């Protein structure tokens, strides 16, 4: 796990994003768990969802607020093809993150990324930092930029 957390820390430094990674001691795998641990609203939690293009097999990252659901139709339109959930083993092998600890930054491979605009309504958001109990906070615009994402209307 330390390697995953180190990658997140390094990616933040490379992007000029000052973060402090916190180990919470308890799971932050779900948005509600993370909000409870971080002492914030569920909408301030960034869910990092990875889907796979049905035709191309290409991985795509979607950053969605914890109180929202990804609209698969909108996501597919942005990706240019129908999407399906990516296999957890593939996600781990290609990104270096296990489900529940997938960070918006620090992936082992470049992945196209999109962020839901609703994240921008908050002064601060919290995201996974590479482990099931590791998180960091950031200003949402800076996090979206660091992730190489574009802000879109993604939520249903």
Out of 1.10.10.10, 3.90.960.10, 3.20.20.100, 1.10.760.10, the CATH code matching 2-152 is 3.90.960.10
pLDDT surpasses 60 at 74 = yes
- 20-29, 96-105, 132-141: which has the minimum mean pLDDT? 20-29
Judge whether 65 and 155 are in contact, CB under 8 Å: yes
CA 31 to chain CA centroid, nearest Å: 11
- pLDDT, one tens digit per residue, over 108-146 is 999 999 999 999 999 999 999 998 889 999 999 999 999
pLDDT value for 119: 97
Higher-pLDDT residue of 34, 78: 78
Q: What's the average model confidence in pLDDT over 50-79?
A: 97
**134 bridge partner residues:** 23
Q: What's the average model confidence in pLDDT over 57-71?
A: 96
pLDDT value for 102: 93
Dihedral sign, CA of 67, 92, 24, 145?
negative
* DSSP H/E element including 108: none
pLDDT surpasses 70 at 2 = no
């Amino acid at each position: 796990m330390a390697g995953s957390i180190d990658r997140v820390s390094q990616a933040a430094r490379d992007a000029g994003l000052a973060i402090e990674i916190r180990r919470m001691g308890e799971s932050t795998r779900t948005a509600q768990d993370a909000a409870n641990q971080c002492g914030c609203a569920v909408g301030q939690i960034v869910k990092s969802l990875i889907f796979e293009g049905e035709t191309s097999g290409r991985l795509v990252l979607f950053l969605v607020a914890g109180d929202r659901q990804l609209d698969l139709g909108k996501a597919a339109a942005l990706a240019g093809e129908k999407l399906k959930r990516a296999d957890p083993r593939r996600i781990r092998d290609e990104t270096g993150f296990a489900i529940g600890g997938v960070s918006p930054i620090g992936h082992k491979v470049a992945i196209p990324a999109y962020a839901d605009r609703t994240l921008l309504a908050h002064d601060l958001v919290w995201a996974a930092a590479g482990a099931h109990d590791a998180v960091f906070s950031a200003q949402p615009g800076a996090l979206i930029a660091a992730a190489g994402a574009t802000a879109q209307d993604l939520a249903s």
